[in-house]
Structure 1
Protein backbone atom coordinates (compact mmCIF):
# COMPACT_ATOMS: atom_id res chain seq x y z
CA UNK A 1 0.00 0.00 0.00
CA UNK A 2 1.04 3.59 -0.40
CA UNK A 3 0.83 5.84 2.62
CA UNK A 4 -1.68 4.82 5.29
CA UNK A 5 -4.85 4.18 3.31
CA UNK A 6 -4.81 0.59 2.17
CA UNK A 7 -5.15 -2.98 3.30
CA UNK A 8 -2.89 -3.38 6.31
CA UNK A 9 -2.53 -5.58 9.36
CA UNK A 10 -5.62 -5.86 11.45
CA UNK A 11 -8.06 -4.54 8.84
CA UNK A 12 -10.00 -1.69 10.44
CA UNK A 13 -9.97 -1.26 14.23
CA UNK A 14 -7.84 -3.96 15.87
CA UNK A 15 -8.31 -5.82 19.12
CA UNK A 16 -6.81 -4.60 22.38
CA UNK A 17 -4.31 -7.46 22.46
CA UNK A 18 -2.83 -6.82 19.00
CA UNK A 19 0.72 -5.47 18.67
CA UNK A 20 2.06 -3.59 15.67
CA UNK A 21 5.71 -4.14 14.77
CA UNK A 22 6.98 -1.13 12.82
CA UNK A 23 9.99 -1.84 10.60
CA UNK A 24 11.57 1.26 9.01
CA UNK A 25 13.53 0.23 5.93
CA UNK A 26 15.62 2.07 3.37
CA UNK A 27 17.32 -0.03 0.68
CA UNK A 28 17.25 -3.12 2.89
CA UNK A 29 16.35 -5.68 0.23
CA UNK A 30 19.11 -8.02 1.44
CA UNK A 31 17.83 -8.00 5.03
CA UNK A 32 14.16 -7.10 5.28
CA UNK A 33 12.74 -10.43 4.12
CA UNK A 34 14.71 -12.35 6.75
CA UNK A 35 13.78 -9.82 9.43
CA UNK A 36 10.06 -10.10 8.69
CA UNK A 37 10.31 -13.89 8.65
CA UNK A 38 12.06 -13.86 12.04
CA UNK A 39 9.36 -11.60 13.52
CA UNK A 40 6.60 -13.89 12.28
CA UNK A 41 8.49 -16.93 13.57
CA UNK A 42 8.90 -15.32 16.99
CA UNK A 43 5.16 -14.69 17.28
CA UNK A 44 2.74 -15.28 14.42
CA UNK A 45 0.14 -13.06 16.13
CA UNK A 46 2.26 -9.92 15.66
CA UNK A 47 1.17 -7.52 12.93
CA UNK A 48 4.14 -6.34 10.86
CA UNK A 49 4.22 -3.03 8.99
CA UNK A 50 7.32 -2.21 6.94
CA UNK A 51 7.75 1.48 6.18
CA UNK A 52 9.56 1.54 2.84
CA UNK A 53 11.41 4.85 3.13
CA UNK A 54 11.72 5.70 -0.55
CA UNK A 55 13.96 2.73 -1.33
CA UNK A 56 15.45 2.39 -4.81
CA UNK A 57 15.81 -1.40 -4.50
CA UNK A 58 13.32 -4.25 -3.98
CA UNK A 59 12.70 -3.59 -0.27
CA UNK A 60 8.93 -3.14 -0.69
CA UNK A 61 8.40 -6.22 -2.86
CA UNK A 62 10.51 -8.49 -0.66
CA UNK A 63 8.85 -7.25 2.54
CA UNK A 64 5.40 -7.91 1.10
CA UNK A 65 6.44 -11.36 -0.14
CA UNK A 66 7.63 -12.19 3.40
CA UNK A 67 4.16 -11.42 4.75
CA UNK A 68 4.39 -7.81 5.94
CA UNK A 69 2.07 -4.95 5.12
CA UNK A 70 4.03 -2.19 3.40
CA UNK A 71 3.62 1.58 3.49
CA UNK A 72 5.79 3.34 0.93
CA UNK A 73 7.00 6.91 1.35
CA UNK A 74 7.47 8.89 -1.91
CA UNK A 75 11.18 9.50 -1.27
CA UNK A 76 13.77 8.91 1.44
CA UNK A 77 12.63 10.95 4.46
CA UNK A 78 14.63 9.37 7.28
CA UNK A 79 13.87 7.13 10.24
CA UNK A 80 11.94 9.84 12.10
CA UNK A 81 9.44 10.34 9.30
CA UNK A 82 9.17 6.60 8.73
CA UNK A 83 8.42 5.95 12.39
CA UNK A 84 5.89 8.77 12.62
CA UNK A 85 4.13 7.17 9.66
CA UNK A 86 4.08 3.87 11.52
CA UNK A 87 2.77 5.40 14.74
CA UNK A 88 0.09 7.30 12.82
CA UNK A 89 -1.00 3.99 11.30
CA UNK A 90 -1.04 2.42 14.78
CA UNK A 91 -3.14 5.26 16.18
CA UNK A 92 -5.67 5.17 13.33
CA UNK A 93 -6.09 1.41 13.60
CA UNK A 94 -6.45 1.47 17.38
CA UNK A 95 -3.29 -0.38 18.40
CA UNK A 96 -2.50 -0.05 22.09
CA UNK A 97 1.07 -1.28 21.74
CA UNK A 98 3.66 -0.80 19.01
CA UNK A 99 7.34 -1.67 18.79
CA UNK A 100 10.14 -0.69 16.43
CA UNK A 101 12.35 -3.39 14.96
CA UNK A 102 15.06 -2.32 12.52
CA UNK A 103 15.21 -4.03 9.14
CA UNK A 104 18.95 -4.71 9.24
CA UNK A 105 18.73 -7.64 11.66
CA UNK A 106 20.45 -6.03 14.66
CA UNK A 107 17.30 -6.26 16.78
CA UNK A 108 16.53 -9.87 17.68
CA UNK A 109 12.79 -10.56 17.25
CA UNK A 110 13.10 -13.19 19.98
CA UNK A 111 13.38 -10.26 22.42
CA UNK A 112 10.19 -8.50 21.29
CA UNK A 113 8.10 -9.95 24.12
CA UNK A 114 10.79 -8.99 26.62
CA UNK A 115 10.75 -5.36 25.48
CA UNK A 116 6.95 -5.27 25.34
CA UNK A 117 6.85 -6.51 28.94
CA UNK A 118 8.45 -3.24 30.00
CA UNK A 119 5.18 -1.51 29.11
CA UNK A 120 3.66 -3.06 32.22
CA UNK A 121 5.57 -0.48 34.29
CA UNK A 122 6.15 2.42 31.88
CA UNK A 123 4.81 4.13 28.76
CA UNK A 124 8.03 3.53 26.79
CA UNK A 125 10.27 0.47 27.01
CA UNK A 126 13.78 0.51 25.54
CA UNK A 127 15.70 -2.59 24.56
CA UNK A 128 19.10 -1.61 25.99
CA UNK A 129 22.39 -2.82 24.54
CA UNK A 130 24.55 -1.88 27.52
CA UNK A 131 22.74 -3.56 30.40
CA UNK A 132 24.89 -6.61 31.16
CA UNK A 133 23.40 -8.79 28.42
CA UNK A 134 25.23 -9.86 25.27
CA UNK A 135 28.65 -8.78 23.99
CA UNK A 136 27.72 -5.71 21.93
CA UNK A 137 30.43 -3.09 22.30
CA UNK A 138 31.20 0.38 20.97
CA UNK A 139 34.42 2.29 21.50
CA UNK A 140 35.93 5.71 20.96
CA UNK A 141 33.92 8.91 20.44
CA UNK A 142 30.73 6.98 19.66
CA UNK A 143 30.86 5.26 23.06
CA UNK A 144 31.62 8.57 24.80
CA UNK A 145 28.58 10.12 23.15
CA UNK A 146 26.32 7.24 24.21
CA UNK A 147 27.50 7.46 27.82
CA UNK A 148 26.98 11.23 27.88
CA UNK A 149 23.52 11.03 26.32
CA UNK A 150 22.46 8.24 28.68
CA UNK A 151 23.60 10.22 31.71
CA UNK A 152 21.72 13.37 30.74
CA UNK A 153 18.50 11.59 29.74
CA UNK A 154 18.64 9.50 32.93
CA UNK A 155 18.48 12.74 34.93
CA UNK A 156 15.49 13.94 32.92
CA UNK A 157 13.75 10.57 33.27
CA UNK A 158 14.53 10.13 36.95
CA UNK A 159 15.69 6.57 36.32
CA UNK A 160 18.95 4.98 35.21
CA UNK A 161 19.17 4.39 31.47
CA UNK A 162 22.21 3.01 29.65
CA UNK A 163 21.20 3.09 25.99
CA UNK A 164 18.99 6.01 24.96
CA UNK A 165 19.96 5.79 21.28
CA UNK A 166 18.57 2.28 20.86
CA UNK A 167 15.82 2.12 18.27
CA UNK A 168 14.52 -1.17 19.70
CA UNK A 169 11.75 0.35 21.78
CA UNK A 170 8.07 -0.20 22.49
CA UNK A 171 5.25 2.28 23.10
CA UNK A 172 1.86 2.00 24.77
CA UNK A 173 -1.20 3.96 23.61
CA UNK A 174 -0.16 7.11 25.50
CA UNK A 175 3.26 7.02 23.88
CA UNK A 176 1.81 6.28 20.44
CA UNK A 177 -0.41 9.37 20.74
CA UNK A 178 2.58 11.43 21.91
CA UNK A 179 4.72 10.27 18.99
CA UNK A 180 1.99 11.19 16.52
CA UNK A 181 1.92 14.68 18.03
CA UNK A 182 5.69 15.05 17.99
CA UNK A 183 8.25 12.80 16.35
CA UNK A 184 11.12 14.79 14.83
CA UNK A 185 12.81 13.85 11.58
CA UNK A 186 16.23 15.41 12.16
CA UNK A 187 19.40 13.48 13.09
CA UNK A 188 18.91 11.44 16.30
CA UNK A 189 15.48 13.00 16.67
CA UNK A 190 13.88 9.58 16.43
CA UNK A 191 15.75 8.45 19.55
CA UNK A 192 16.95 11.36 21.69
CA UNK A 193 14.58 14.22 20.86
CA UNK A 194 11.44 12.08 20.75
CA UNK A 195 12.34 10.50 24.10
CA UNK A 196 13.15 13.79 25.86
CA UNK A 197 9.96 15.35 24.51
CA UNK A 198 7.92 12.37 25.73
CA UNK A 199 9.47 12.72 29.20
CA UNK A 200 8.68 16.43 29.26
CA UNK A 201 5.10 15.50 28.35
CA UNK A 202 4.86 13.36 31.49
CA UNK A 203 5.42 9.91 30.03
CA UNK A 204 7.54 7.34 31.83
CA UNK A 205 10.35 5.16 30.47
CA UNK A 206 12.09 1.95 31.46
CA UNK A 207 14.74 -0.21 29.87
CA UNK A 208 15.02 -3.94 29.33
CA UNK A 209 18.39 -5.64 28.72
CA UNK A 210 18.72 -7.25 25.29
CA UNK A 211 21.57 -8.62 23.21
CA UNK A 212 22.07 -6.81 19.91
CA UNK A 213 23.44 -8.47 16.78
CA UNK A 214 25.54 -7.32 13.85
CA UNK A 215 23.94 -6.29 10.57
CA UNK A 216 23.05 -9.30 8.44
CA UNK A 217 24.23 -7.63 5.21
CA UNK A 218 25.68 -4.28 4.25
CA UNK A 219 28.34 -2.18 5.93
CA UNK A 220 27.68 -0.15 9.10
CA UNK A 221 28.66 3.50 8.89
CA UNK A 222 31.29 3.34 11.66
CA UNK A 223 34.84 4.63 11.17
CA UNK A 224 37.03 7.04 13.20
CA UNK A 225 35.83 10.11 11.30
CA UNK A 226 32.20 9.00 11.41
CA UNK A 227 32.44 8.29 15.14
CA UNK A 228 33.75 11.79 15.81
CA UNK A 229 30.97 13.33 13.75
CA UNK A 230 28.49 11.18 15.66
CA UNK A 231 29.82 12.57 18.95
CA UNK A 232 29.45 16.18 17.84
CA UNK A 233 26.03 15.74 16.26
CA UNK A 234 24.66 13.75 19.19
CA UNK A 235 25.70 16.44 21.67
CA UNK A 236 24.03 19.03 19.45
CA UNK A 237 20.87 16.90 19.23
CA UNK A 238 20.75 16.58 23.01
CA UNK A 239 21.23 20.31 23.54
CA UNK A 240 18.46 21.04 21.05
CA UNK A 241 16.08 18.59 22.72
CA UNK A 242 16.73 20.02 26.19
CA UNK A 243 16.39 23.58 24.89
CA UNK A 244 13.02 22.80 23.33
CA UNK A 245 11.80 21.31 26.59
CA UNK A 246 13.03 24.30 28.56
CA UNK A 247 11.31 26.77 26.26
CA UNK A 248 8.01 24.90 26.56
CA UNK A 249 8.16 24.90 30.36
CA UNK A 250 9.17 28.56 30.67
CA UNK A 251 6.20 30.63 31.94
CA UNK A 252 5.07 33.50 29.77
CA UNK A 253 5.67 37.00 31.06
Structure 2
Protein backbone atom coordinates (compact mmCIF):
# COMPACT_ATOMS: atom_id res chain seq x y z
CA UNK A 1 0.00 0.00 0.00
CA UNK A 2 1.50 3.31 -1.12
CA UNK A 3 0.83 6.50 0.85
CA UNK A 4 0.70 9.55 -1.45
CA UNK A 5 1.14 12.95 0.20
CA UNK A 6 0.69 16.02 -2.03
CA UNK A 7 2.59 18.87 -0.40
CA UNK A 8 3.05 22.55 -1.19
CA UNK A 9 5.04 24.62 1.33
CA UNK A 10 4.43 22.23 4.22
CA UNK A 11 7.86 22.41 5.86
CA UNK A 12 6.31 23.02 9.29
CA UNK A 13 4.40 19.73 9.29
CA UNK A 14 5.79 17.29 6.71
CA UNK A 15 8.23 15.52 9.02
CA UNK A 16 5.62 15.13 11.77
CA UNK A 17 3.22 13.62 9.22
CA UNK A 18 5.85 11.12 8.04
CA UNK A 19 6.74 10.18 11.65
CA UNK A 20 3.05 9.65 12.42
CA UNK A 21 2.71 7.28 9.47
CA UNK A 22 5.91 5.43 10.39
CA UNK A 23 4.67 4.97 13.95
CA UNK A 24 1.69 3.02 12.60
CA UNK A 25 3.77 0.88 10.26
CA UNK A 26 3.47 2.86 7.02
CA UNK A 27 6.87 3.27 5.39
CA UNK A 28 6.09 3.12 1.67
CA UNK A 29 5.47 6.84 1.27
CA UNK A 30 5.64 9.17 -1.73
CA UNK A 31 5.66 12.92 -1.09
CA UNK A 32 4.68 14.82 -4.22
CA UNK A 33 6.35 18.19 -3.77
CA UNK A 34 4.14 20.62 -5.67
CA UNK A 35 6.89 23.13 -6.51
CA UNK A 36 7.30 24.25 -2.91
CA UNK A 37 9.38 27.36 -2.31
CA UNK A 38 10.38 26.23 1.19
CA UNK A 39 12.23 23.16 2.51
CA UNK A 40 9.34 20.69 2.15
CA UNK A 41 11.21 18.39 -0.28
CA UNK A 42 14.50 18.56 1.64
CA UNK A 43 12.86 17.72 4.96
CA UNK A 44 10.85 14.86 3.44
CA UNK A 45 13.96 13.35 1.88
CA UNK A 46 15.71 13.58 5.26
CA UNK A 47 13.05 11.23 6.66
CA UNK A 48 13.94 8.63 4.04
CA UNK A 49 10.75 8.66 1.93
CA UNK A 50 10.40 8.93 -1.83
CA UNK A 51 9.98 12.49 -3.10
CA UNK A 52 8.66 13.51 -6.51
CA UNK A 53 9.40 17.19 -7.15
CA UNK A 54 7.17 18.89 -9.71
CA UNK A 55 8.75 21.66 -11.84
CA UNK A 56 5.87 24.07 -11.26
CA UNK A 57 2.80 24.32 -9.06
CA UNK A 58 -0.05 22.17 -10.38
CA UNK A 59 -2.47 22.31 -7.47
CA UNK A 60 -3.47 19.63 -4.97
CA UNK A 61 -5.40 17.33 -7.30
CA UNK A 62 -2.89 17.29 -10.16
CA UNK A 63 -0.07 16.73 -7.66
CA UNK A 64 -2.10 13.86 -6.23
CA UNK A 65 -2.69 12.46 -9.71
CA UNK A 66 1.05 12.49 -10.32
CA UNK A 67 1.30 10.15 -7.34
CA UNK A 68 -1.58 8.04 -8.64
CA UNK A 69 0.17 7.66 -11.99
CA UNK A 70 3.37 6.67 -10.24
CA UNK A 71 1.44 3.98 -8.35
CA UNK A 72 -0.08 2.76 -11.60
CA UNK A 73 3.28 2.58 -13.36
CA UNK A 74 4.84 0.74 -10.42
CA UNK A 75 2.02 -1.79 -10.28
CA UNK A 76 0.64 -0.95 -6.85
CA UNK A 77 -2.66 -2.62 -5.98
CA UNK A 78 -3.68 0.18 -3.64
CA UNK A 79 -2.83 3.64 -2.39
CA UNK A 80 -4.00 6.05 0.26
CA UNK A 81 -3.97 9.81 -0.27
CA UNK A 82 -2.96 11.65 2.89
CA UNK A 83 -2.77 15.39 3.58
CA UNK A 84 0.47 17.06 4.66
CA UNK A 85 -1.07 19.52 7.14
CA UNK A 86 -1.57 17.09 10.07
CA UNK A 87 -5.37 16.98 9.74
CA UNK A 88 -5.25 13.31 8.79
CA UNK A 89 -4.23 10.81 11.44
CA UNK A 90 -2.31 7.62 10.69
CA UNK A 91 -4.21 5.92 13.54
CA UNK A 92 -7.34 6.07 11.37
CA UNK A 93 -5.90 4.24 8.35
CA UNK A 94 -6.64 0.81 9.82
CA UNK A 95 -10.33 1.75 9.65
CA UNK A 96 -10.07 2.41 5.91
CA UNK A 97 -8.18 -0.82 5.28
CA UNK A 98 -10.60 -2.96 7.29
CA UNK A 99 -13.61 -1.30 5.66
CA UNK A 100 -12.19 -1.85 2.19
CA UNK A 101 -11.58 -5.51 2.98
CA UNK A 102 -15.12 -5.94 4.29
CA UNK A 103 -16.91 -3.97 1.58
CA UNK A 104 -14.64 -4.75 -1.42
CA UNK A 105 -15.24 -1.15 -2.54
CA UNK A 106 -12.83 0.26 -5.12
CA UNK A 107 -12.76 3.54 -3.20
CA UNK A 108 -13.07 4.13 0.53
CA UNK A 109 -13.40 7.72 1.75
CA UNK A 110 -12.45 8.72 5.27
CA UNK A 111 -15.14 11.23 6.21
CA UNK A 112 -15.23 13.76 9.00
CA UNK A 113 -18.31 15.96 8.41
CA UNK A 114 -17.93 17.73 11.75
CA UNK A 115 -14.82 19.56 10.49
CA UNK A 116 -16.88 21.51 7.96
CA UNK A 117 -18.24 24.96 8.66
CA UNK A 118 -21.95 25.67 8.16
CA UNK A 119 -21.31 27.19 4.72
CA UNK A 120 -19.20 24.21 3.68
CA UNK A 121 -21.92 21.77 4.74
CA UNK A 122 -24.45 23.77 2.72
CA UNK A 123 -22.16 23.53 -0.31
CA UNK A 124 -21.76 19.78 0.21
CA UNK A 125 -25.56 19.35 0.32
CA UNK A 126 -26.01 21.32 -2.89
CA UNK A 127 -23.35 19.34 -4.74
CA UNK A 128 -24.74 16.03 -3.51
CA UNK A 129 -28.13 17.03 -4.90
CA UNK A 130 -26.76 18.24 -8.25
CA UNK A 131 -24.25 15.45 -8.83
CA UNK A 132 -26.09 12.47 -7.38
CA UNK A 133 -22.87 11.50 -5.59
CA UNK A 134 -23.94 10.28 -2.17
CA UNK A 135 -20.87 11.11 -0.11
CA UNK A 136 -21.18 12.97 3.18
CA UNK A 137 -17.72 14.58 3.19
CA UNK A 138 -17.13 15.52 -0.45
CA UNK A 139 -13.83 17.33 0.07
CA UNK A 140 -12.05 14.73 2.21
CA UNK A 141 -8.60 14.00 0.82
CA UNK A 142 -8.24 10.88 2.97
CA UNK A 143 -9.04 8.18 0.43
CA UNK A 144 -8.09 4.59 -0.28
CA UNK A 145 -8.04 3.62 -3.96
CA UNK A 146 -7.69 0.06 -5.21
CA UNK A 147 -6.04 -1.03 -8.47
CA UNK A 148 -9.15 -0.43 -10.58
CA UNK A 149 -9.60 3.10 -9.24
CA UNK A 150 -5.89 3.83 -9.70
CA UNK A 151 -6.10 2.85 -13.37
CA UNK A 152 -9.13 5.07 -14.00
CA UNK A 153 -7.57 8.09 -12.28
CA UNK A 154 -4.35 7.65 -14.25
CA UNK A 155 -6.23 8.40 -17.47
CA UNK A 156 -5.74 11.64 -19.39
CA UNK A 157 -9.31 12.74 -18.64
CA UNK A 158 -8.50 12.95 -14.94
CA UNK A 159 -5.79 15.52 -15.69
CA UNK A 160 -8.51 17.98 -16.73
CA UNK A 161 -9.99 18.07 -13.23
CA UNK A 162 -9.14 20.76 -10.70
CA UNK A 163 -10.10 19.24 -7.37
CA UNK A 164 -10.11 15.81 -5.71
CA UNK A 165 -13.78 15.93 -4.82
CA UNK A 166 -16.91 16.01 -6.97
CA UNK A 167 -15.12 15.82 -10.33
CA UNK A 168 -13.07 12.79 -9.33
CA UNK A 169 -16.11 11.09 -7.81
CA UNK A 170 -18.18 11.74 -10.94
CA UNK A 171 -15.44 10.32 -13.13
CA UNK A 172 -15.14 7.21 -10.99
CA UNK A 173 -18.93 6.81 -11.09
CA UNK A 174 -18.81 6.97 -14.91
CA UNK A 175 -16.37 4.05 -14.95
CA UNK A 176 -18.49 2.05 -12.46
CA UNK A 177 -15.95 2.34 -9.67
CA UNK A 178 -17.69 1.41 -6.44
CA UNK A 179 -17.28 3.60 -3.37
CA UNK A 180 -17.92 3.46 0.33
CA UNK A 181 -17.46 5.83 3.23
CA UNK A 182 -16.35 5.45 6.81
CA UNK A 183 -16.24 8.04 9.55
CA UNK A 184 -12.80 8.94 10.91
CA UNK A 185 -11.30 11.44 13.30
CA UNK A 186 -9.37 14.42 11.98
CA UNK A 187 -7.54 17.28 13.66
CA UNK A 188 -7.76 20.95 12.88
CA UNK A 189 -5.17 22.35 10.48
CA UNK A 190 -2.09 23.50 12.44
CA UNK A 191 -0.49 25.60 9.69
CA UNK A 192 -0.93 26.66 6.09
CA UNK A 193 -4.21 27.43 4.35
CA UNK A 194 -7.04 25.53 2.73
CA UNK A 195 -6.50 25.03 -0.99
CA UNK A 196 -10.18 25.81 -1.61
CA UNK A 197 -11.40 28.05 1.19
CA UNK A 198 -8.47 30.44 1.61
CA UNK A 199 -10.23 33.46 0.02
CA UNK A 200 -13.65 34.49 -1.22
CA UNK A 201 -12.40 34.49 -4.82
CA UNK A 202 -11.13 30.94 -4.42
CA UNK A 203 -14.47 29.89 -2.94
CA UNK A 204 -16.40 31.55 -5.78
CA UNK A 205 -14.20 29.86 -8.38
CA UNK A 206 -14.56 26.49 -6.66
CA UNK A 207 -18.35 26.82 -6.37
CA UNK A 208 -18.71 27.91 -10.00
CA UNK A 209 -16.38 25.21 -11.33
CA UNK A 210 -18.00 22.40 -9.36
CA UNK A 211 -21.53 23.56 -10.18
CA UNK A 212 -20.71 23.54 -13.90
CA UNK A 213 -19.32 20.00 -13.58
CA UNK A 214 -22.54 18.86 -11.94
CA UNK A 215 -24.77 20.60 -14.47
CA UNK A 216 -22.81 19.20 -17.41
CA UNK A 217 -23.27 15.72 -15.95
CA UNK A 218 -27.02 16.33 -15.62
CA UNK A 219 -27.22 17.64 -19.20
CA UNK A 220 -25.34 14.60 -20.52
CA UNK A 221 -27.62 12.22 -18.65
CA UNK A 222 -30.72 14.03 -19.96
CA UNK A 223 -29.39 13.84 -23.51
CA UNK A 224 -28.80 10.09 -23.22
CA UNK A 225 -32.27 9.50 -21.81
CA UNK A 226 -33.89 11.46 -24.62
CA UNK A 227 -32.20 9.35 -27.32
- Structure-1 separation of matches of 2:194 and 2:202: 15
Equivalent pair of 1:146/1:164 in contact (CA under 8 Å) = yes
Relative to structure 1, the CA distance from residue 174 to residue 222 in structure 2 (aligned partners, 3 Å threshold; closer, same or farther) is closer
What residue in structure 2 maps to residue 194 of structure 1?
168
- Structure-1 separation of matches of 2:159 and 2:214: 10
Choose the corresponding residue for 1:209, options 180, 183, 203. 183
What residue in structure 2 maps to residue 7 of structure 1?
none
Q: Deviations over 1:163-209 (max 9, x none)?
A: 1111111100000000001424544x322101111011111110010
What residue in structure 1 maps to residue 126 of structure 2?
148
- How high is the TM-score relative to the length of structure 1? 0.78
Equivalent pair of 1:127/1:208 in contact (CA under 8 Å) = yes
- How high is the TM-score relative to the length of structure 2? 0.86
- Structure-2 separation of matches of 1:209 and 1:116: 13
Choose the corresponding residue for 2:77, options 96, 100, 107. 96
1:35 aligns with 2:17: yes
Q: Deviations over 1:114-140 (max 9, x none)?
A: 12333232111100112xxxx53412x
- Structure-2 separation of matches of 1:149 and 1:90: 29
Q: CA deviation at 1:234?
A: 2.7
- Structure-2 separation of matches of 1:73 and 1:62: 16
- Structure-2 separation of matches of 1:211 and 1:150: 22
**SS of the residue aligned with 1:99?**
strand
- Structure-1 separation of matches of 2:77 and 2:2: 9
What residue in structure 2 maps to residue 74 of structure 1?
55
- Structure-2 separation of matches of 1:222 and 1:190: 11
Q: Deviations over 1:70-123 (max 9, x none)?
A: 000001111121111101111111110101000001111111121233323211
What residue in structure 1 maps to residue 154 of structure 2?
180
**SS of the residue aligned with 2:170?**
helix
- Structure-2 separation of matches of 1:53 and 1:244: 30
- Structure-2 separation of matches of 1:220 and 1:86: 20
RMSD, matched Cα: 2.7
Equivalent pair of 1:28/1:103 in contact (CA under 8 Å) = yes
Aligned structure 1 segments of 4 or more residues deviating by more than 4 angstroms? 219-223, 248-251
Unaligned residue ranges in structure 2 (runs of 5+):
none
Equivalent pair of 1:127/1:210 in contact (CA under 8 Å) = yes
Relative to structure 1, the CA distance from residue 232 to residue 86 in structure 2 (aligned partners, 3 Å threshold; closer, same or farther) is closer
